[in-house]
């Protein structure tokens, strides 16, 4: 007899095929597509997205989901069913008219933002943003009504299942008590140390070669993925064929190199998701926070650590030779420099959480209706001053207009960056205990044991467990921010 569950599996396999095409066409759009292809591509992708939405939210799927609850399923199947139900509910909840309205308003706001940001045009931008916020609040209300959560929590849950603003307030509240002081101390400390910025140019082909060598060292499977160029680095494609990107700048090579290391962390997670469940929701990465934990474990825990930097120094040297500021000791300093700045994506790992907390507090208040769009700039300036000691009054371009997230209504996403940093610290600390030789292994360039540990504890599980279970199974406790603080103090004080 064909079970409801097997019908569901077939439907989600079909959806994964559509997702495959959409992922590759999306990657192509960002890396390969010539400019005139843009409109036709957007239309084709929108068509597929409408189709996927229809297939996922078909009445029949709802019925199968009910029936499957009464069928005999094993643990993995139950986890798969839970993830299917989650996807179905998240999609079926919203009327198509709202989905469409929000998508249009988001596209309009993002499109105009590209020009308005350059022009520092807050007036023009805020007009579009108001509409995006209005629709995001509607979306949040509908989601909140269905789950009984607060509006903001309903959005947060889409990216980080199980996370709530109550938990975040505790985590971030704690961070705020010690982070600004730590930052100040580290900046003071580093002022006393000399650090030389090596002068360019750094040949782009050599930067690419360095990136490829580092990816190789990090175990990227080149039979199942590629490295290309895009204006914003990302990890895309599908688990069988992971496409990461970086961007190059002749003046310096560290950001392309660190970008590659970061995306390789995402990539290895994707490449090692459970093969036998691929196509089913249970095979997907657990959450955005866990995804970010892998990229930040690669970039920050491992990539910016002294033994790792020493171990890749010969690769850097082979590409760029001896030049002032490129001796081993200065190379390490360059990668551990702390300097509060205006821009989130350029931030060091101590300043970064401040950028995130600021955004979290503003977007939460915005979605909950406690503030309005016009309140953002003043709040932004105030919090930048408080958390990072930086004056940003009037500089919208490098202030509240710097990110793309809000332009298309991605409220609730920002916290996952800092959750990722915290998970990364906790996981790495635990791997360190589990593998007594780890620091020596890293120094020798042998990462086998570390990757086995990640494979064993994170990658192979996909979405089988809840985030709390996954982290508890891996480390013996749920998220504990103490490891993050400890990591920062150990590295920087």
Nearer to a second copy, 18 or 465 (CB): 18
| Residue 341: C-alpha distances to residues 253, 321, 350, 401 (Å) | 20, 30, 11, 15
**Least CB distance to a second copy at residue 424 (A):** 27
Nearer to a second copy, 51 or 434 (CB): 51
| Residue 352: C-alpha distances to residues 29, 402, 481 (Å) | 29, 14, 15
Nearer to a second copy, 172 or 234 (CB): 234
From CA 451, how far away is CA 431, in angstroms rounded?
10
Phi and psi, residue 149, nearest 5°: -95, 180
Phi and psi, residue 435, nearest 5°: -120, 90
From CA 476, how far away is CA 25, in angstroms rounded?
41
Q: Is 386 a catalytic residue?
A: no
**Least CB distance to a second copy at residue 45 (A):** 8
Nearer to a second copy, 25 or 78 (CB): 25
Detail the DSSP E strand segments found in 64-154.
Answer: none
β-sheet with 241-246: strand ranges across: 225-229, 241-246, 235-238
Nearer to a second copy, 40 or 393 (CB): 40
**Count of Cβ atoms closer than 10 Å to residue 391 Cβ:** 11
**Count of Cβ atoms closer than 10 Å to residue 196 Cβ:** 13
**Least CB distance to a second copy at residue 281 (A):** 16
**Least CB distance to a second copy at residue 228 (A):** 8
**Least CB distance to a second copy at residue 205 (A):** 11
256 closest CA partner among 310, 217, 305, 206: 206
**By the criterion CB under 8 A, which residues form the site for a second copy?**
14, 17-18, 20-22, 24-25, 28, 32-37, 39-41, 43-45, 47-48, 51, 221-226, 237-238, 240-241, 278
201 preceded by a cis bond (ω within 30 of 0):
yes
The active-site residue, picked from 77, 83, 160, 263, is 263
The residues annotated as belonging to the active site are 263
């Amino acid at each position: 007899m064909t079970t409801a569950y097997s019908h569901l599996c077939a439907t989600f396999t079909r959806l994964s095929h559509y997702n495959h095409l959409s992922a590759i066409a999306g990657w192509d759009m960002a890396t390969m597509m010539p400019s005139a292809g843009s409109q036709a591509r957007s239309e084709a992708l929108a068509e597929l997205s409408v189709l996927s939405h229809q297939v996922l939210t078909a009445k029949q799927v709802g019925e199968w989901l009910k029936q499957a609850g009464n069928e005999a399923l094993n643990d993995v199947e139950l986890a798969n069913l839970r993830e299917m139900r989650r996807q179905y509910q998240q999609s079926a909840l919203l009327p198509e008219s709202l989905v469409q309205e929000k998508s249009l308003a988001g596209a309009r706001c993002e499109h105009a933002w590209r020009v308005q940001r350059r022009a520092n045009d807050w007036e023009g931008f805020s007009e579009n943003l108001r509409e995006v916020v209005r629709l995001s609040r509607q979306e949040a209300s509908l989601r909140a009504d269905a789950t009984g959560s607060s509006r903001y929590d309903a959005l947060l849950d889409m990216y980080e299942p199980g996370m709530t603003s109550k938990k975040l307030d505790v985590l971030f509240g704690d961070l705020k008590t010690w982070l600004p002081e730590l930052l100040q101390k580290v900046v003071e400390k580093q002022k006393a140390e000399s650090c030389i910025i090596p002068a360019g140019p750094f040949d782009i082909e050599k930067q690419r070669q360095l990136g490829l060598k580092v990816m190789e060292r990090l175990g990227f499977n080149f039979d199942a993925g590629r490295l290309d160029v895009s204006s914003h680095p990302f990890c895309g494609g599908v688990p069988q064929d992971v496409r990461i990107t970086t961007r190059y700048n002749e003046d310096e090579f560290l950001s392309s190199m660190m970008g590659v290391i970061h995306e390789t962390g995402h990539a290895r997670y994707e490449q090692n998701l459970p093969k036998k469940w691929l196509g089913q929701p249970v095979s997907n990465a657990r959450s955005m926070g866990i995804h970010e934990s892998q990229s930040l474990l690669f970039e920050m825990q491992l990539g910016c650590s002294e033994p790792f930097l020493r171990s890749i120094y010969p690769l850097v040297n082979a590409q760029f030779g001896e030049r002032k500021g490129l001796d081993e000791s200065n190379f390490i300093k360059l990668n551990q420099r702390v300097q509060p700045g205006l821009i989130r994506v350029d931030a060091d790992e101590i300043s970064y959480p401040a950028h995130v907390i600021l955004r979290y507090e503003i977007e939460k208040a915005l979605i909950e209706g406690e503030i309005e769009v016009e309140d953002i700039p003043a709040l932004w300036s105030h919090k930048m001053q408080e958390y990072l000691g930086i004056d940003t009054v009037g500089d919208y371009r490098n202030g509240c207009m710097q990110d793309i997230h809000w332009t298309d209504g991605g409220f609730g996403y920002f916290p996952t960056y800092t959750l990722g940093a915290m998970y990364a610290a906790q996981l790495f600390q635990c791997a360190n205990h589990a593998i007594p030789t780890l620091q020596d292994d890293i120094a020798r360039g042998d990462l086998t044991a570390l990757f086995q540990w990640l494979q064993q504890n994170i990658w192979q599980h996909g979405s089988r467990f809840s985030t709390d279970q996954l982290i508890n199974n891996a480390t013996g406790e749920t998220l504990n921010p103490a490891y993050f603080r400890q990591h920062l103090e150990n590295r920087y004080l």
